Structure 1
Amino acid sequence: MAIPAELRAQLQTRVIDTTHSPELRLQRLVELVFQPEGLALQYDTGATLSVAEVWQQRRANCLSFTLLFVALAREIGLDARMQEVGQVVSWYQDQGLIFTAGHVNVGLRVGGRHATLDLDQNVLYDRRGPRPISDRRAIAHFYNNRGVEHLAAGDYPAARAYFDAALQMDPRFVATWNNLGVLESRVGDNAAAARDLESALAINGEHAPALSNAVALYTRTGDIPHAARLQKKLDRARARDPFYQFMQATQAERSGDYAQAIHYYRNALKLYDNAHQFHFGLARAYFLSGDNRLAEREMERARQLGDNERQRALYQAKLDSLRRLQARRPSH
C-alpha cells in the first residue's frame, strides 16, 4: 500500500494544501482519482494491481481501488478502512451475471457520518453487507486474487507462492485454503487437496466452493460415503443461499424454463426480499410465462426498492410498458 512519490506529491498539492475540511479533502481526492487531469482511473475487473501499479497503469478492479483509495484517504487525514462483503452478484454487459464469494470496498467516516465507496456500481451485496476488515486481511485478498490468476494460467508455482503469502497475512482465509485444494488436485496430490479443503471447512463448514470441490474430490477418489455426507451439507447451504437460488433462476430463465425460473426467484425472495434485482427477475419470468398481472406486481416492488432515482425511473418505464400491454388485452 506504499504511495509512489509522484502520487504523494500530487496528493499534497491538489488535496492537502487546498483545504483543512475533511469533506472537501474527500471531494478533492475523488477528483484526483477519477478526473482526466488526475489519475483518470478506469475500472478493469481483471486488474489486481498494487497501489504503485494502479498509479502506473491507471486501471483497477474493486480490490486494487480499495487499497489505493484507503491509502490515499489515510494520507490526507481521513478515517478510512477496508470492508469485506462475503458474497456479491455483479452485472456486466459483456460477461452477464457473475457470482463472487468475497468482495471489498472502502469504508469512510467523515464528519461523524459513515459512508461506503465502491468502484463497482452494478453489485448486489449479501444480506450482511460490508464489514470492516484488517489491512492484513485485505492484503490476503490481494495475494489470493493474484494466486487465482496464476492458477487459471497454469502457473502453479507462482499460484502456490501467492496462496502461501495470503495465508501468512490471514491463516483463516477460507477462500485461499479452497484454492490451494484446487491447485493440489490439479497437480495430482489428492491427499494434500483433501487436507486443504478440510482446513477450509474447519473454518467455515458451509463454504459452498470448498464443499463443492470436496464432493468432487472424494467422488473421484472413491470415498463415496464422505462425498455423500458433504453433498447433503452443500445442498442445505445452497437451500439457504439466496444468491444460489437467484443464479439457478437466471439459468432456468435463459433456458426457457419459466416455471422453474419463477420457482427459484421466489425461493431467493423468501431469503432476501429487499433485493430489487430479484423482484425484477421474477417480474421478467412472470412476463415471459404470460402472466402480466403478477409481472406488474413484481415490477412495482422492484421500482419501490430501486437504489437510486435512475434505477427507479428505469423500472417505472418498464412498469408503464407492462400496464400498456395490460390495457390492450381484451376483457372477458
Structure 2
Amino acid sequence: MLVFRLILIALLTGCAGPVKLSNVKETPELNWESDTFSSVNVPSVESIFYLSDENKQLFLDYYHAPENQEVQGHKRLSNFIALFLSGFSYKGNTYNADLASTEHAGNCLSLAILTKAYALLADLKIEYRRVNSAPVYAKEGGLITISSHVQTHVHAPKKQDIEKGHFYFSKIVIDYFPSGRGMLGDAVSFDDFISMYYQNLAAIELASKNYDKAYSLLAAAIERSPYNVETLNTLAVLYKKSGNVAKAESIYHYILNHTQGSVSALSNYVLLLKQQDRDNEARVYASRYSEIEDDNPYRWYNLANQAYGLQNYQQALDLFAKTSKMAPYLHESFFGQARAYFQLGDTSKAKLAMKKAVELAYTPNEEKLYSAKLHTLKAYEQP
C-alpha cells in the first residue's frame, strides 16, 4: 500500500499493481544482483498469512456459529471483516495477518493479507484488484510515501443447477477504503500481491538506510515476481541511494526498453540524468512519457506537478490534460491546467479550467479556494 518516492520518485506498489510486460517470453534476463549487499533473513511467504491459534479461533467461532450458517461463506467472511474493522486503526504499517489481527491496525495491504488468511481457513477463493484513488502523501527519511489500495474479491463456492446443468458464481468485493472517486485498475496476481508485501517492507528499510535488509526484501519480491516493474524501480532507487549509479541506470534502461514502462521509473531516470547534467538525454527520455501504458491517473497527476515545479509548463499542461481525460472528475487536474495555462500566458483558457475545478470541487474548502482563484483570474483579464 505504500508507494515510495525519492527525490527521484521511487514508486512501490504496496496496494498498487505493477505494469505488465507486453511479452515476457522475449524479455532478456536482467542482471540485477550485486555482491555489495549482505543477505539478511526476510519473512517467509507462509509467515505472511500466519495466524495464531487464538486469532484463528476468533474467526472460526464466528464463521461456524449456528446463527451464521444460513449465510453464504463469502458473505460470512465479509461480515466478519466489517465487524473487525470497527475501531480499526488505519496506520501506514504493513503487518502480516497475525499482527494485523492482534494489533487491530495496519494499512490496506495488511487488511487484504488478513482477509486472505481468513479465506484460507474457510477454503474460499479470493482475487485482488488495484484501485486508483487519491493517494495520501507522507514524508519519511527523504522518501515520499504515497498510499493507494487494492480491493479483495471473495468468491462464493460455485453452485450447479443440476436440472439445467449450469454453474453459477457470485462474489463480494471488499474495499477497505471505499471512495466515490476511485477507478478500478488491473487485476493483481497472487505473486505480485506477495511482492507488494516485500516491497513495502523494503521501502521502510530503504528510508532508514538499512540497505542490506532492503536489498534482501527486494530480492524476495523479485523471486516471486521477476518482472514486477515497480519492484525493479525500487531496486534502482536502492542502488542510486547506496552509490551505485551505474547499476541503477542499467535497471532503468531495462525497464524502459524491455517492458511497457513505468511512469515512476522514467521520472526517476530523467531526474538522475538531470542530476548528472545530462540535460540533452533527459529531454529525450522525458519525451517518452506518451509511450507508457499506465491506467492510474494519479501517477500522471503527480508527474504533471513535478513538471510544473520544474517550470516545464507546456509538459505540465499536457500531463494535467491527460489526467483529466483519464479521470474527468478530478478537480485537481483542472486546477493544474489553470495554473499551467496562466504561466503560458493564456488567461482565457486558465479561467475556463478554473471554472471546471470549481464545479468539480469535492469539499467546501476546495470550492472556496478555486472560486477565489477564479475571481483573481477574472480581475487579471480586466483592462
The one of 79, 91, 96 equivalent to 1:44 is: 91
Give the RMSD, CA atoms, in angstroms.
Answer: 4.6
Percent sequence identity over aligned pairs = 19
Secondary structure at 1:60's aligned position in 2?
Answer: coil
- AA partner of residue 90 (structure 2): Y
Paired residues of 1:177 and 1:199 also in contact (CA < 8 A): no
Q: 2:134 matched to which residue of 1?
A: 89
The one of 22, 41, 53 equivalent to 1:5 is: 53
Paired residues of 1:88 and 1:100 also in contact (CA < 8 A): no
Matched, 1:146 2:201: yes
Q: CA deviation at 1:227?
A: 3.9
List alignment gaps of at least 5 residues for structure 2: 1-48, 157-167, 340-346, 376-383
Q: 2:102 matched to which residue of 1?
A: 56
- After TM superposition, the structure 1 = structure 2 runs for residues 146-165 of structure 1, keeping only pairs within 5 Å, are 146-165=201-220
Q: CA deviation at 1:74?
A: 4.0
Partners of 2:303 and 2:249 lie apart in 1 by 28
Instruction: Give deviations 1:10-62, integer Å, cap 9, x for gaps.
Output: 11112222423226513531244223xxxx422112x1111122123221111
Identify, as 1 or 2, the structure richer in helix.
1
Q: CA deviation at 1:164?
A: 0.4
The one of 76, 80, 85 equivalent to 2:122 is: 76
Paired residues of 1:83 and 1:131 also in contact (CA < 8 A): yes
Secondary structure at 2:57's aligned position in 1?
Answer: helix
Q: 2:34 matched to which residue of 1?
A: none
Classify 1:202/1:105 alpha carbon distance in 2 versus 1 (closer, same or farther; 3 Å): farther
Question: If the length of structure 1 is used for normalisation, what is the TM-score?
Answer: 0.69
Secondary structure at 1:171's aligned position in 2?
Answer: coil
- AA partner of residue 90 (structure 1): P
Paired residues of 2:202 and 2:213 also in contact (CA < 8 A): yes
Q: CA deviation at 1:172?
A: 0.8
Q: CA deviation at 1:242?
A: 4.2
The one of 253, 259, 267 equivalent to 1:204 is: 259
Instruction: Give deviations 1:141-181, integer Å, cap 9, x for gaps.
Output: 00011101100111101100100010011001111111111
Secondary structure at 2:153's aligned position in 1?
Answer: strand
Classify 1:293/1:152 alpha carbon distance in 2 versus 1 (closer, same or farther; 3 Å): closer
The one of 34, 37, 58 equivalent to 2:85 is: 34
Paired residues of 1:91 and 1:123 also in contact (CA < 8 A): no
The one of 268, 272, 275 equivalent to 2:326 is: 272
The one of 170, 173, 183 equivalent to 2:228 is: 173
Which is bigger in relative contact order (C-alpha 8 A, separation at least 6)? 2
Paired residues of 2:198 and 2:220 also in contact (CA < 8 A): yes
Q: 1:194 matched to which residue of 2?
A: 249
Partners of 2:260 and 2:319 lie apart in 1 by 26
List alignment gaps of at least 5 residues for structure 1: 304-310, 327-332
Paired residues of 1:147 and 1:158 also in contact (CA < 8 A): yes
Q: CA deviation at 1:275?
A: 2.7
Instruction: Give deviations 1:166-222, integer Å, cap 9, x for gaps.
Output: 001100111111111111122222232122223333453431221122233345557
Q: 2:175 matched to which residue of 1?
A: 118
Q: CA deviation at 1:2?
A: 2.1
Partners of 2:267 and 2:198 lie apart in 1 by 23
- AA partner of residue 12 (structure 1): L
Q: 1:329 matched to which residue of 2?
A: none
